[in-house]
Amino acid sequence: MEENKTLLEVKDLKVSFYTPAGEVKAVNGISYSLGYNEVMGIVGESGSGKSVEAYSIIGLLQSPGKVIGGSITFEGENVLEYDAEKMRQFRGNKVSMIFQNPMTCLNPVYTIGNQLIEALMCHDKGYTKEQARARAIEMLELVGINNAEKRIDQYPHEFSGGMRQRAMIAMALICEPKLLIADEPTTALDVTIQAQILELMKDLQKKENTSIIFITHNLGVVAEICDRVSVMYAGHIVEQGPVNDIFYHPQHPYTKGLLASTPRLDEDSKERLVPIEGTPIDLLNPPKGCNFGPRCKDCMKICLREKPPFCEVGEGHISACWLHYKESKGDAAHE
Amino acid sequence: MNEQKVLLEIENLRKYFPVKGEKLFQKKYVQAVESVSFSIFRGETLGLVGESGCGKTTLGRTIIRLYEPTSGRIVYDGTPIYDSEQKISVDMLPYRRKMQIIFQDPSASLDPRMTVGEIVGEALDIHKLCTNKTERRERINTLLDEVGLNTEHANRFPHEFSGGQQQRVGIARALAVEPEFIVCDEPISALDVSIQSQVVNMLEDLQVEKHLTYLFIAHDISVVRHISNRIGVMYLGQMVELAESYELCSHPVHPYTQSLLSAVPIPDPDVTRARQRILLEGDIPSPLNPPTGCRFHTRCPYATERCRQEQPKLKEQSPGHFAACHLLDG
């Protein structure tokens, strides 16, 4: 199939927020590529820049945020050079997004159907009103909403949390986008509903062949749905690789720390959790060297002086840490 | 394991909240907690899990009487502190020294206009635990030290702290009166992943050091399983299953617990992908008019006619393992 072709390529993307207190480098030079039909997970804590990065792909970055460098290439075109009209055509049509809180993202004064049909009509797909309505009903059925013909005329407040998220997914997929960005789509939901939504997304991904960027802080969700994972910390990708490598052979101390500090439902013994000490860094005054350096157990002198480069630690598996550098080049800490 | 001495006994506890009905003067009730009975042993951690709206927070608050119970009986260390039948309702102030609570949202539960020292010290003043200012200051400093904050933090305001640190202040405040029993109401769900484990470890250490008893409420079952000795599962205001935590996670008997556990994602790609999920249909019904019979029957894949009619009771299925389900009667 088209597995190996690249759908989206992000290169050295830099996004800054110009706040009264100073420049916050929310995303500081991240690169990755996403193939057709691939699910990429982006994991990180709050403030690591994972949402900002997604917002800049879809052109929803709000002032005072600004893309200050790098490129985002979608099917060969640089998205950052799009003007407003082109961006509008691109957004929703080729790339769409589902957000964390479905209630704040649905318009409370329009019916669900109205909002679904609007998405279709905006993108001029040559539907008549009746066809658009039929398509909207079809979409609602696809995402597992029973009684779609009746439900389509209801307002968001008549839907439960899980149903609203289903409606959001229907809306995002109605124009058959090639890429779906899911920004913590299950965080606001209960585990049983989360399980329903995850099953639905896995199902739809197979049916519609959509690529997905799945942003979350829940490692369990990532393990379940993603093919590849990028771990972000303080505006940088620190480790990236196939999902099995990340979970079974994590290389970066931060990834290892995250995995060790997450309690698991299926562990046999009640081992003590190994926390990552310290607190996330203040992005207004980032450290000079590795951003994770101040919290790292294996911090060396060079870590506090210079940013670590990416090292290939496995097939398609990269990690930004001086430790690997030391291992591969002997003692190169003198630099 | 523990010497099984009962610290807190709850019998048929109910908490209804009145809401406006559809007609004028019509009153309806949200049945947030409906006939819950269980005991908490001294020195243990009892975990309480369930979906949002199942009444776990209400139960936690009703036990320490931050909410006045609608009916039922609460016995603390042999003394009834509330009994609707015998009309007992004691003055809670002396018991506040023994029962404390840590809230979910640390920034909302700290007064923004008080310094951390004042917040922690307020409890000392109310219960008159310090005779002079030096003693008070020293006590506050020890408390802050115990939760991993610096003594100079006492003069700062809550907004100057990160979420994890704010939660530590909340814990220091709860510890100030040297309580025996603490209700931890989702103490870590507002925190970042890497901070969560720090707080969990600290709570565990404090428990050993100060011989505390916890009622640990959370929706994240992995965390509850990690910290608890026993776990209670709630659904729509009722306790559906209660067992030792390993037993509950490895041999859940109630259909709701089974599906709840199968829904929890496990951070291990092979395990989680190979797992068979029991997906529940639909959503949690409204506690305004809960279903008749077993409250779970609308979503239960095994529901029978009896489940629709008759409410199951929480029964001991095997030693120490309680569950409320008709199917288990055999």
Question: Is A198 near chain B, with CB under 8 Å?
Answer: yes
Residues B158 and B115 in one domain: yes
Given a cut of 80, is residue A312 above it in pLDDT? yes
Residues B153 and B245 in one domain: no
Cross-chain residue pair B222–A160, CB shorter than 8 Å: no
Q: Which residue of B has its CA nearest to A44?
A: B193
Q: What does the block give as tokens for B140?
A: 């506050």
Give the pLDDT of residue B234. Answer: 94
Q: In 3D, which of B64, B59, B60 has the Cα closest to residue B16?
A: B59
Residues B66 and B131 in one domain: no
| Rounded Cα distance, A69 and A166, in Å | 35
Residues B249 and B105 in one domain: no
Which residue among B225, B259, B268 sits closest to A192, beta carbon to beta carbon? Answer: B259
Question: Is B298 near chain A, with CB under 8 Å?
Answer: no
Can you give the residue range of the structural domain that contains B131?
99-178
Cross-chain residue pair A280–B259, CB shorter than 8 Å: no
Given a cut of 90, is residue B113 above it in pLDDT? yes
Q: Which residue of A has its CA nearest to B161?
A: A279
| Rounded Cα distance, A215 and A51, in Å | 7
Give the pLDDT of residue A334. Answer: 42
* pLDDT one-digit tens code per residue, A22-60: 888 889 889 999 999 899 999 988 888 888 888 898 888
Residues B106 and B54 in one domain: no
Question: Is A70 near chain B, with CB under 8 Å?
Answer: no
Q: Label residue A278 by pLDDT band (50, 70, 90).
A: confident
Which residue among A45, A199, A257 sits closest to B277, beta carbon to beta carbon? Answer: A199
Given a cut of 80, is residue A270 above it in pLDDT? no
Q: What does the block give as tokens for B106?
A: 């640390």
Given a cut of 90, is residue A161 above it in pLDDT? no
Please state, rounded to an integer, the average pLDDT across all residues of chain B.
Answer: 90
Per-residue pLDDT, averaged over A82-108, amounts to 88
Question: Is A223 near chain B, with CB under 8 Å?
Answer: yes
Residues B81 and B221 in one domain: yes
Per-residue pLDDT, averaged over B123-131, amounts to 90
Give the pLDDT of residue A250. Answer: 93
Question: Is A60 near chain B, with CB under 8 Å?
Answer: no
Q: Confirm whether the ipTM is greater than 0.85.
A: no
| Rounded Cα distance, A197 and B263, in Å | 11
Given a cut of 60, is residue A331 above it in pLDDT? no
Per-residue pLDDT, averaged over B7-33, amounts to 87
* pLDDT one-digit tens code per residue, B150-170: 888 899 999 988 888 899 999
* pLDDT one-digit tens code per residue, B162-200: 888 899 999 999 999 999 999 999 898 888 888 888 899
Give the pLDDT of residue A276. Answer: 86
CB A297 within 8 A of CB A252: no
Residues B224 and B83 in one domain: yes
Residues B217 and B315 in one domain: yes
Smallest Cα distance from B194 to chain A, Å: 6
Look at residue B193 and tell me if it is in a domain: no
Look at residue B202 and tell me if it is in a domain: no
Give the total number of structural domains in chain B: 2
HEC string of B80-91? EEEECCCCEECC
Q: In 3D, which of A198, A135, A192 has the Cα closest to residue A160?
A: A192
Cross-chain residue pair A265–B221, CB shorter than 8 Å: yes
Q: Label residue A4 by pLDDT band (50, 70, 90).
A: low
Strands (E), B42-108: 45-49, 71-76, 79-83, 88-89, 99-102
Smallest Cα distance from B51 to chain A, Å: 6
Give the pLDDT of residue A181. Answer: 93
- Domain of residue B21, CATH code: 3.40.50.300
Residue type, B105: D
Smallest Cα distance from A174 to chain B, Å: 23
Question: Is A163 near chain B, with CB under 8 Å?
Answer: yes
* pLDDT one-digit tens code per residue, B278-322: 888 777 888 888 898 899 999 888 889 999 999 999 999 999 999
Given a cut of 90, is residue B270 above it in pLDDT? no
Cross-chain residue pair A195–B269, CB shorter than 8 Å: no
Look at residue B107 and tell me if it is in a domain: yes
Residues B313 and B219 in one domain: yes
Residues B276 and B132 in one domain: no
**What are all long-range contacts of A240-244, with beta carbons under 8 Å and residues at least 24 apart?**
A240/A32, A240/A317, A240/A318, A240/A319, A241/A313, A241/A314, A241/A316, A241/A317, A241/A318, A241/A319, A242/A315, A242/A316, A242/A317, A243/A41, A243/B269, A244/B269, A244/B270
Residue A41, SS3? strand
| Rounded Cα distance, B306 and B323, in Å | 16
Q: What does the block give as tokens for A90?
A: 């691109």
Give the pLDDT of residue A327. Answer: 67
Look at residue B138 and tell me if it is in a domain: yes
For residue B200, list chain A residues with Cβ-Cβ distance below 8 A.
263, 273, 275
Q: Report the DSSP pairing between strands A211-216 and A22-35.
A: unpaired
